[in-house]
Chain A
Amino acid sequence: MIEVNQLTKRYGGKTAVDNLSFTVRPGHVTGFLGPNGAGKSTTLRMILGLDAPTAGTATVSGVPFRSHPRGLRHVGALLDAQQVHGGRSAASHLSALAVSNGIPRRRVAEVLHEVGLTDVARRRIGGFSLGMKQRLGIATALLGDPPVLIFDEPINGMDPEGVRWVRHLFRRLAAEGRTVFLSSHLMSEMENTADELVVIGQGRLIAAEPLHSFAARSSRIGVVVRTPQSAELVAVLTAAGATVEPDAERLTVTGLPAERIGTLAFDNRILLHELTTRTASLEEAFMRLTADSVEYLAGQPR
């Protein structure tokens, strides 16, 4: 369980994180979403005790993370896969971390196997691709078998196979009852991974709710209908209480479900070429919600 309470971080006059409160519960994969510069990484660093908040608190399993003398058994974190020394081998990197926390050395081989890096364990990290470094970072997070896992942009640089693997891993970790918190600036990454969402923009909370509620709340569900008899159908549907928006050769209908529209058309002998229920994609929902809080907007006067 991660609890963030009225967390604020200011750098000089600039507020990176602004009075942020949310809770991340165990047993779920929770996505931490926001445009670039929204304050995600700063928030994660404060949760991990690396940065001191200007105000507010962040606790992991009820206590500030910094109060633990050793951390790996409490939280596993991947903040940035590049935060390794290129001159060391994967095995040495993990061994030093394991030993510092009194974790048996054989655990290193276990996590390397888990992330599929056994064959390159003795190779210098400097020669790893970003995807391999991400796997190494995930291995680091798993070392202490912790109840809470935090990943900052874990999917960056991974090939499609890696993405599939890592999604499966996150689900499995959550199913084991762990708290899994992962950040991303891309909604599409969350769509198939997260159950819960925490969305922020310009350091402020925009939404904290289950993914499906987020999608439902923010999407206008409509039905797209294509027919050669537009005028007749518009009259019928409007009479039935729907709102119809003509859109090129299609009609977008809101206020009636697809089944009802189909029945009405059939009863009135109106030919339909297409009848599609349209839900706004999560990406669209996310874009609309965060449009006001995007830090760096291309092509806008600054």
Chain B
Amino acid sequence: MSAKVSASPLTSAVRVAEPPARFRDLLAAEWIKMRSLRSTPWTLGLITLFVIGSATLAAMADYNNFPRYSPESQREHMFSLHDAFPSTGYWTLTLVAVSMGAIAVVSEYGSGLIRTTIVAVPARGAVVLAKAVVVAAVWAVVGAVSASGSFAVSQAILAGRDAAISITDPGAFRAMVASALVAPVCALIGLGLGFLIRHTAATTAAGIFTLLVLPAFFSTSRRWSAELNHSMVLTAWQRLSTEWLPPSRPGYYVATITESWIVYAVWPLVAIVVALVVIRRRDV
């Protein structure tokens, strides 16, 4: 490669007075960063297909087994909503979302790109918020496409047994919204952990531990333990995506719907606040 010594002046012809610092410029920059990685469309496409595929398989299983179900099961078809939002697909979605949310941050720390970013934008808090908005928006879209897709495909299959539910049925819309939102909630948790931990492997491990392993430490049979269990994201998703559960009684505690929505809001908020605090305090 030969160097070209250009004759043009280094001073840009387009130099103008400094424009005001606009947050939407940072959003645009983060969006460029995200879409310019080849892995992004692949990951988002594959996980969407996987989630819809898992709902398809769940619905196919009930479709095939339907003739062997009891008349009561056939009449109530309680499985229909579960088939739309099966845990295999959605647990995988949450794991991919938490990892990708983390990678959006730790890939910058791993390469040192974060220093280039912060020299370009010394307002560090704004960088965190812009990343959070872009990550949340992208995963909200993935979640919405996955949830509406898995609901539509699974119910189309079950309609063949006259066992489909409508989105207007009790709990169906809530289950779909909760299943769509679990992706951005988890992606933001990953993002917060990324800013806190800054190392790829440790951040991903922490994300998986927080989402999947931590809830297993707490039972639903004792009050205090159940309360902690209810504060977990996947417990909240399970509650919100289930049409009906028996009411709480001593030895068996169920989270309320409101509680579960609050869990959805608090986790990402805490993640962003932690990220804002650590990025301001620490050396980059």
* A interface residues, Cβ below 8 angstroms from B: 45, 48-52, 65-73, 75, 77, 79-80, 82-89, 92-93, 95-97, 99-102, 104, 106-107, 110, 113-114, 116, 118-120, 131-132, 140, 142, 145, 161-162, 164-165, 168-169, 172-173, 176
Partner of A116, one of B4, B120, B283: B4
State the 3 A-B residue pairs at the shortest beta-carbon distance, nearest first.
A83-B112, A100-B29, A92-B36
- Which B residue sits closest to A165, measured CB to CB? B3
CB distance from A198 to the nearest CB of B (A): 20
Within 8 A of A (CB), among B20-39: 21-22, 25-26, 28-30, 32-33, 36-39
- Which A residue sits closest to B116, measured CB to CB? A83
Given A83-B115, A92-B32, A161-B2; A110-B8 close (CB under 8 Å)? yes
Partner of B111, one of A52, A71, A85, A140: A85
**B121 close to A69 (CB less than 8 A):** yes
**B10 close to A172 (CB less than 8 A):** yes
**A140 close to B116 (CB less than 8 A):** yes
- Which A residue sits closest to B282, measured CB to CB? A52
**A107 close to B12 (CB less than 8 A):** yes
**A101 close to B33 (CB less than 8 A):** no
**B33 close to A71 (CB less than 8 A):** no
**B3 close to A71 (CB less than 8 A):** no
CB distance from A19 to the nearest CB of B (A): 19
Given A67-B122, A79-B119; A99-B28 close (CB under 8 Å)? yes
14 cross-chain CB contacts under 8 A: A50-B115, A50-B284, A66-B122, A70-B123, A84-B113, A85-B37, A87-B38, A92-B33, A92-B36, A100-B25, A102-B21, A107-B12, A113-B4, A116-B3
Given A69-B21, A92-B32; A48-B6 close (CB under 8 Å)? no
Q: Is B75 an interface position by the 8 A CB rule?
A: no
Contacts of A110 in B (CB 8 A): 8, 12-13
- Which B residue sits closest to A145, measured CB to CB? B12
Given A70-B123, A71-B120, A102-B22; A88-B36 close (CB under 8 Å)? yes
Contacts of B30 in A (CB 8 A): 96
**A145 close to B111 (CB less than 8 A):** no
Q: Considering the chains assembled together, what is the distance between the CA atoms of A75 and B116 in angstroms?
A: 12
- Which B residue sits closest to A48, measured CB to CB? B119
Given A96-B29, A110-B12, A165-B3; A87-B37 close (CB under 8 Å)? yes
Given A50-B115, A66-B122, A173-B10; A45-B21 close (CB under 8 Å)? no
Q: Considering the chains assembled together, what is the distance between the CA atoms of A87 and B37 in angstroms?
A: 6
Chain B interface main SS type: loop
**B111 close to A116 (CB less than 8 A):** no
Q: Is B107 an interface position by the 8 A CB rule?
A: yes
**A80 close to B119 (CB less than 8 A):** no
Contacts of B118 in A (CB 8 A): 49-50
**A145 close to B1 (CB less than 8 A):** no
CB distance from B97 to the nearest CB of A (A): 20
Q: Is B19 an interface position by the 8 A CB rule?
A: yes
Contacts of A65 in B (CB 8 A): 122
- Which B residue sits closest to A159, measured CB to CB? B1
**B19 close to A102 (CB less than 8 A):** yes
**A97 close to B116 (CB less than 8 A):** yes
CB distance from A22 to the nearest CB of B (A): 21
Contacts of A50 in B (CB 8 A): 115, 118-119, 283-284
Partner of B10, one of A73, A88, A102, A176: A176
Q: Considering the chains assembled together, what is the distance between the CA atoms of A106 and B13 in angstroms?
A: 10
Question: Which of B37, B116, B117, B126 has most chain A Cβ within 10 Å?
Answer: B116
CB distance from B49 to the nearest CB of A (A): 22
Within 8 A of A (CB), among B23-70: 25-26, 28-30, 32-33, 36-39
CB distance from A54 to the nearest CB of B (A): 11
Partner of A49, one of B39, B111, B122: B122
**B116 close to A88 (CB less than 8 A):** no
Question: Which of B1, B5, B21, B29 has most chain A Cβ within 10 Å?
Answer: B1
Contacts of B113 in A (CB 8 A): 83-85
Q: Considering the chains assembled together, what is the distance between the CA atoms of A144 and B118 in angstroms?
A: 14
Q: Is B76 an interface position by the 8 A CB rule?
A: no
Question: Which of A79, A82, A102, A161 has most chain B Cβ within 10 Å?
Answer: A102
Contacts of B115 in A (CB 8 A): 45, 50, 79-80, 83
- Which A residue sits closest to B126, measured CB to CB? A69
Q: Is B227 an interface position by the 8 A CB rule?
A: no
CB distance from B50 to the nearest CB of A (A): 22
Q: Considering the chains assembled together, what is the distance between the CA atoms of A197 and B273 in angstroms?
A: 44
Contacts of A86 in B (CB 8 A): 111
